[in-house]
Amino acid sequence: MIDAKEYLKKMSAELDGPIKSYIGNEEPENLMEASRQYPYRGGKRMRPAMAVACCGAVGGDRSKAVPLAVAVEYIHNFTLVHDDLMDGDESRRGMATIHVNYGMPTAVLAGDALFAKAFQIICDLDIPAERMRDALRYVSKAVWDLARGQQMDVNNEGQIVTEEVYLETIKLKTSVLFAAAAAGGALVGGADRKTAEAINEYAIEVGLGFQIFDDYLGIMGNPAKTGKSNCNDIRKGKCTVMVTHTIEALKDDAAKLAEFKSILGKMDATEEECARAKQIMKDAGSIDYAMDMARAKVNRAIETIAFLPESEDKEFMISLANYSIDREL
């Protein structure tokens, strides 16, 4: 079985040149520099890798999916620029954020420029017009859904929502762009609509599993590996599957529920209080519940692409699904 992490590094290196080739030396220079900052810096590049792999998995010419891969990466980075503005974050990927380096107006324009460049690239794909329209539908709907998911996340901040609302939020925030990359790559590779939709569903499930596991790491991960305190999400009151399950499990234990809620969202919670909140979640079976759900999402994703012929690209898609719930352990 392919090592997804190593394969991602290899594909990221291969995509580095194309990703850095589409923003020319135009005026104004500061806008060009700001637009380049995030995509040129690197990252896991899981979305562009997904586009290329899904093209190959349906028997297509992987090189034809590279422009789509670049476009999806630009869209992803456009969302990061605007996320950093909304959140007031001052650093990303070990450097100052774009609005810190270039100011808020230029950061907004850099995000807009990346978004526009992405669709310009897609319109030049070397595929039949009908397939291009289908690819554009997936990508444009993903951006629309991503905006909806971001606003839902803002609306949910500080609130305890239902599991259904939380899952819909992370689907829109995290999964849809993965899925657009996957389905778009399949379309570039010559897949019919039924195959592209199956691959889209595969990526939706991978994205859900990825985010549920990311939430798990936020609570149970090793800070030396994750790079953040596993008290952060408790102090921020982040509503996750683990939290919604705990609250439901404790509905008949008013005292313990009140204790849990008194710690959740307490910005100055001590390490001991955080440990107590984690223990309550464990005792409620919520940690295991979340991990079981993440595994179920990944298993469903792998089942969805079982019909694809055996290939290195399919093997990578399976490995990537498993990697999404087996990081930093």
Q: DSSP letters of 79-131? A: HHHHHHHHHT--EETTEE-HHHHH-HHHHHHHHHHHHHHHHHHHHT-SS-HHH
pLDDT confidence of 22, banded at 50, 70, 90?
very high
Rg (CA), the chain: 20
* φ, ψ of residue 191 in degrees (nearest 5): -65, 150
Q: Select from 316, 293, 280, 279 the least CA-distant residue to 213.
A: 293
Q: Is the pLDDT of residue 203 over 80?
A: yes
DSSP 175-240: IHHHHHHHHHHHHHTT--HHHHHHHHHHHHHHHHHHHHHHHHHHHHS-HHHHSS-TTHHHHHT---
CATH code, domain carrying 185 = 1.10.600.10
Q: Does residue 220 belong to any structural domain of this protein?
A: yes
Q: Model confidence over 183-193: pLDDT tens digits?
A: 999 999 999 99
Count of helix runs (H) and strand runs (E) in the chain: 17, 2
pLDDT score recorded for residue 86: 86
Give the domain extent around 214. Answer: 4-323
The structure tokens listed for 43 are 């990252």
Mean pLDDT of all residues in the chain?
A: 93
pLDDT score recorded for residue 282: 96
pLDDT score recorded for residue 140: 96
Q: Does residue 67 belong to any structural domain of this protein?
A: yes
Q: Is the pLDDT of residue 139 over 90?
A: yes
> What's the whole-model pTM score?
0.91
Q: Is the pLDDT of residue 44 over 90?
A: no
Cα 204 from chain centroid (whole Å)? 10
pLDDT score recorded for residue 41: 87
What is the distance between the alpha carbons of residues 160 and 157, in angstroms, rounded to a whole number? 8
Q: Select from 266, 247, 265, 267 the least CA-distant residue to 257.
A: 247
Q: Does residue 170 belong to any structural domain of this protein?
A: yes
Q: Does residue 329 belong to any structural domain of this protein?
A: no
pLDDT confidence of 309, banded at 50, 70, 90?
very high
The answer to whether the CB of 185 falls within 8 A of the CB of 65 is: yes
Q: In 3-state terms, what secondary structure has residue 266?
A: coil
Q: Does residue 17 belong to any structural domain of this protein?
A: yes
DSSP 60-93: --GGGGHHHHHHHHHHHHHHHHHHHHHHT--EET
SS3 breakdown of the chain: % helix, strand, coil, rounded to 5? 75, 0, 25
pLDDT score recorded for residue 328: 64
pLDDT score recorded for residue 65: 97
Q: In 3-state terms, what secondary structure has residue 160?
A: coil
- % of the chain beyond a pLDDT of 70: 99
pLDDT score recorded for residue 1: 77
pLDDT confidence of 157, banded at 50, 70, 90?
confident
Q: Is the pLDDT of residue 329 over 70?
A: no
From 111-125, 216-230, 278-292, 308-322, the region with the lowest mean pLDDT: 216-230
Contacts of 122 (CB under 8 A, 6+ apart): 67, 68, 71, 132, 135, 136, 139
Q: Does residue 288 belong to any structural domain of this protein?
A: yes
Q: Is the pLDDT of residue 159 over 90?
A: no
The answer to whether the CB of 206 falls within 8 A of the CB of 298 is: yes
Q: Looking at residues 317-327, what average pLDDT do you find?
A: 92
pLDDT score recorded for residue 224: 74
Q: Is the pLDDT of residue 228 over 80?
A: no
Q: Model confidence over 50-108: pLDDT tens digits?
A: 999 999 999 999 999 999 999 999 999 999 999 888 888 887 877 888 999 999 999 99
Residue with tokens 């990825």: 210
Q: Does residue 154 belong to any structural domain of this protein?
A: yes
Q: Select from 46, 66, 55 the least CA-distant residue to 312.
A: 55
Number of folded domains that form the chain: 1
Q: Select from 31, 8, 15, 24 the least CA-distant residue to 65.
A: 15
Q: Does residue 328 belong to any structural domain of this protein?
A: no
pLDDT score recorded for residue 230: 80
